[in-house]
Structure 1
Amino acid sequence: MSKSSTPSSASSVSTPLLVGACIAWGVVTLLFFLLFTAPGEDGVQPAWFLLGINLLETGAFLLAGLLCFRNWRSTQIVSGRNVWFWIGLGLLFYVLGNVMFFLWGNIWRLDPAVSLGDFFYIFSYIFLAAGMFKAVLPRRLNLELPQWLMVVGIGLGGILLTIFVNLAAAEAAVVPGAPAPTLYLAQTAAPEVAPEVAPEAAPPALPEPVAETSSAPNWVLQLDGFLEPLADGVGLLYLIGDVVLLIIAGTLLVAFWGGRYSQSWKLIAIAAFCLYIADMFFAYAVNTDTYIEGSLWEVFWTFSAVFFGLGAVVEHAVSVNSRRSPRRRRG
């Protein structure tokens, strides 16, 4: 009579379900963006749409974080439990950042330069980088020259793209406010005598729009005032965090390119790339003052969480199967 380990059997059954759930979450999110993205005449998305995309994105990061903590609690994880603890902690802090961002923007109608959610996002970058670095650190990177050139190329490409996005955003922000050349020529050219025109009646003055009052508590308004001078420093930390994650993701691709345990870390690297892509779109939109919450490119944030979750599921499945005895006990 053959016996099999119950935890291993349960894991083999749950793996397809979890993989299917992660993929389905990403597909549903993409369809939700494609089918219901319809800003109103004022360019603002409906409230129900904003709530939906926030729930999909935050839920994806929460699910991915729980899957990472499942790996942390397992004693069979080959890559090390601490690796998944830090990645899971980073995803959990990203969830808290999303919650704060939703409260500030959608509930309290605030648009500060820096909010409390930014600090949760920054710490999430730190924890994600720490976990991914711990995955690479134990491996002796005996890379060949082409592999090192690939890592360096990814890093330089990320830095150059970050600089380009910020410079392009700065130029786009300056051009609309620049004085028109015709105005300058009109001031320097010789004055011409214009025929007298009867003054027209001035149009009636339109009432100025009343500023929307915020329902935010006083401590939130005071905190925003205190954090506002830190806007430049926080923006720089975002850029550094994106580049560091991109470099580590490139290193993961090279270090885990072949072998049995490479699939999960390829998915983690793709997750970091998706996060970088979404952040670059966000940085350009914010710097050019064209950001509209609910734009299609925001789906990359949810894709990032989906790939983190898939990486955790694949790592757990491979680790459990590798520890399973190749021979079955017979009684």
Structure 2
Amino acid sequence: MSNTYKNSYPSTLFSTQNIVLASLGWGVLTLLYFLLFSAEVPSSDGSLKRADWYIIGTNIFEAVAYLGAGVLCLRNWRSQVLVSNRNVWLLMGIGMLSFFLGGVFFGYTEIVLKQEPFPSIGDVFFVITYIVVGSAMILAVASRRIKLESWQWIIIAMIAICGSALAWLISNQPAGVEKDKVEEWAVQIAPLLNWFYVISDVLLLIIATALLLAFWGGRVSLSWRMIAAAAFSLYIADMWQKYATTWIQNYQSGGILEVFYVWSGVLFGMGAVLEYDASLNRSRRERSKKRA
């Protein structure tokens, strides 16, 4: 990368280049961890289970990704040179930190309390995440006054239909699958949460497709392509989670496709740092022109 990337942050340690490389490294390390250790092994009672240390590790990978993304998004909100709407990054930051807290409570319920993690108090933070991140992406689209061609709207419509159909099919539980015994309040609230997540996933998929098509091409738009890819990753992870918990009896978290949860956090963070870098470079160019 050029020297402008290295100088984007006051400290060389936190340059754009180093943050991007660290993010990519975290994503690759996460994939290797899932590939090598996600297999279920026989437990003391004869059933197949994933090791507790492995589940703890997946939670750590996810927590670090979203905590880092939240910090980077809030840094953009605090920046005075940001090109895009700063409120977008405030909402993004709140969403990332909410997902981080939701994951912590989810892991605590499953690993420490040995209880069914859905629904749990962690879902409160996951719901907040979908609301604020969805609002941020809508605000980003509205503030840029995106104009799409007819063929682009057709692509968005096709993806919306396919995404909705897939979510609907996955969400319909087969008669032969029985869930573990859960509390009465959980039985009542679970269907509402299920449909909230399904609808939110489809809406994020539509908005992400619009962002991807609108910002395809150009270095300045790279950050928004990362955000769109993050939303796609979140959709894939949620669809797998929905399929596994609906169709697989006694499913234990940690399946290979849950790596997309971590990748989503990584991509949100990369989008934030690339937006900051592009804004900082633009500010420097404008100052140079004024001096000239």
Which bracket does the TM-score occupy, shorter chain normalised? 0.7 to 0.9
For 1:78, the equivalent position in structure 2 comes to: 83
Deviations 1:40-77 (A, max 9, x none): 21221111111111101111110111111111110111
Cα shift at 1:116: 1.0
Partner Cα distance (2:50, 2:39) in 1:
6
Q: Is the 8 A contact 2:66 2:97 kept in 1?
A: yes
Q: CA deviation at 1:225?
A: 4.8
Match of residue 10 from structure 2: 10
Tell me, yes or no, if structure 1 residue 123 matches structure 2 residue 128.
yes
Report what 1:230 is aligned to.
189
User: What amino acid is aligned across from residue 244 of structure 2 in structure 1?
Assistant: A
Q: Contact (CA 8 Å) 1:68, 1:309: kept in 2 or not?
A: yes
Q: Give the alignment of 1:78-227 within 5 angstroms.
A: 78-111=83-116, 113-167=118-172, 170=173, 173-175=174-176, 225-227=184-186
1:318 Cα offset (Å): 0.5
Q: 1:137 to 1:176 in 2, by over 3 A?
A: closer
Residue 37 (structure 1) shift: 2.2
Shift of 1:164: 2.5
Find the counterpart in structure 1 of residue 269 from structure 2. 309
Which of 275, 300, 304 aligns to 2:234? It is 275
Alignment correspondent of 1:319: 279
Say which SS state the counterpart of residue 293 (structure 1) adopts.
Answer: coil
How many residue pairs get aligned? The number is 277
Matches of 1:176 and 1:313, distance apart in 2: 44
Counterpart code for 1:320:
L
Change (3 A) 1:133 1:176: closer
CA contact (8 A) 1:264 1:311 kept: yes
Q: Which amino acid in the other structure matches residue 255 of structure 1?
A: A
DSSP-derived class of the 2:143 partner: coil
Distance 1:164 1:282 in 2: 13
Computing the radius of gyration over CA atoms, which structure comes out larger, 1 or 2?
1
Task: State the 1:8 CA deviation.
Answer: 4.8
1:91-125: CA deviation from partner (whole Å, max 9, x where unpaired): 11101110111111110111165211112111101
Q: Structure 1: how far apart are the matches of 2:199 and 2:51?
A: 33
Higher relative contact order (CA 8 A, sep 6+): 1
- Is this contact kept in 1: 2:95–2:129, CA < 8 A? yes
Cα distance, 1:50–1:176 mapped onto 2, change above 3 Å: closer
Cα distance in 2 for residues equivalent to 1:329 and 1:126: 41
Q: Which contiguous aligned blocks of 4+ residues in structure 1 show a shift greater than 6 angstroms?
A: none
Shift of 1:264: 0.6
SS of 2:175's equivalent?
helix
RMSD: 2.4
| Structure-1 separation of matches of 2:124 and 2:74 | 22
- Unaligned 5+ residue runs, structure 2? none
Instruction: Note the alpha carbon deviations across 1:166-203, whole angstroms, 9 max, x for none.
Output: 34xx3xx32579xxxxxxxxxxxxxxxxxxxxxxxxxx
Normalised to the residue count of structure 2, the TM-score between the two structures is 0.88
Counterpart residue type for residue 271 of structure 1: A
Flag structure 1 segments of 5+ consecutive residues without an equivalent.
Answer: 178-220
Seq. identity, %: 42
Q: Hey, what's the Cα distance between the residues in 1 that align with 2:273 and 2:193?
A: 33
